[in-house]
Copies of this chain bind each other. A is one copy, B any other.
Amino acid sequence: MASFERHVFVCQNVRPEGAPRPSCTADGKSELFTQLQQLTRAAGLGRAVRINKSGCLDQCEHGPVVVVYPETVWYGNVQTEDATAIVQEHLVNGQPVERLRLAPDCINTAACPHRP
């Protein structure tokens, strides 16, 4: 195979306490990342899909944030317990998890209901 069928970036960013924008992880560790990785491998997608750590994805007010390429599906406020839905519904069955998607108006915006 050449490129990954899907490449999933999970923000691991952590800022100092008191920073003006929030962090996607408390300490750079992400149980969400681990769960996504383990469930993807358990589903037999270990070579077709890569679960990747990333630095700040710049959607900090909507974190924890995940983006799936090449489809460009953005997920926000993703909790560890959402990993099963992302893997089963999206990575296995090809249907993005609508309830977790960031609204287009919330992506790369200087102001939205979550970023005053």
A residues neighboring B (CB under 8 Å): 1-4, 7, 9, 12, 47, 50, 52-58, 67, 69-72, 74, 104-105, 107-109
- Kindly list the 6 A-B residue pairs having the minimum CB-CB distance in the complex, ordered from nearest: A53-B55, A69-B69, A2-B104, A70-B70, A54-B54, A2-B107
Closest to A33 in B: B55
Q: Taking chain A's interface residues, is the majority helix, strand, or loop, or is none over half, making it mixed?
A: loop
- List 18 interface pairs A-B (beta carbons < 8 Å), by A numbering: A1-B107, A1-B108, A1-B109, A2-B104, A2-B105, A2-B107, A4-B108, A9-B54, A12-B55, A47-B108, A50-B57, A50-B58, A52-B55, A53-B55, A54-B54, A69-B69, A70-B71, A70-B72
- Checking B1, B7, B107 against A69 with a beta-carbon cut-off of 8 angstroms, the contacting residue is B7
A1 to B12: give the CA distance in the assembly, Å: 24
Which residues of the other chain, B, contact A72 by a CB distance below 8 angstroms?
3, 69-70
